[in-house]
Every structure is written in structure tokens, then in C-alpha cells.
Amino acid sequence: MKTFVIIIGSLFLILNLSVIEIQAATLTVANLNNSGVGSLRLAIVNATAGV
């Protein structure tokens, strides 16, 4: 019985530690410019900065 409790406890711990939170965002690119509002470069910079 003690071994069973240890195994169940270990499985519970492993399952809780293996949960990964994934977040998604939509980036809007409005033009093909290299910089400035609506550019892909600015969208990537904002995404990596968490904006």
C-alpha cells in the first residue's frame, strides 16, 4: 500500500510539473516597410518585448 501511494504521488507531481502554459497572439503587419508603424520588424520587436 505504501508503494502504491508513493507511485500515485510521484505521477501526480510529474503531471503537475509537465503542464506548460502556451500563449498565442495575432500580429498585424500593414505594410512592407522595414521600420515604422505596421511593419513586420516592429511587430516582431513588440512581440518579443511583450507589448
In a domain, 13, yes or no: no
pTM, rounded to two decimals:
0.45
In a domain, 27, yes or no: yes
Q: How far is residue 47 from each of residues 11, 38, 41, 42, 43, measured CA to CA in Å? A: 36, 13, 10, 8, 6
Rounded CA gap, 2 and 8, in Å?
10
How many domains does the chain fold into?
1
In a domain, 5, yes or no: no
In a domain, 48, yes or no: yes
In a domain, 46, yes or no: yes
In a domain, 45, yes or no: yes
pLDDT digits (tens, 9 = 90+) for 1-51: 778 778 887 877 777 666 667 677 788 889 888 888 889 888 888 888 765
Domain, as residue range, for 39: 22-51
In a domain, 41, yes or no: yes
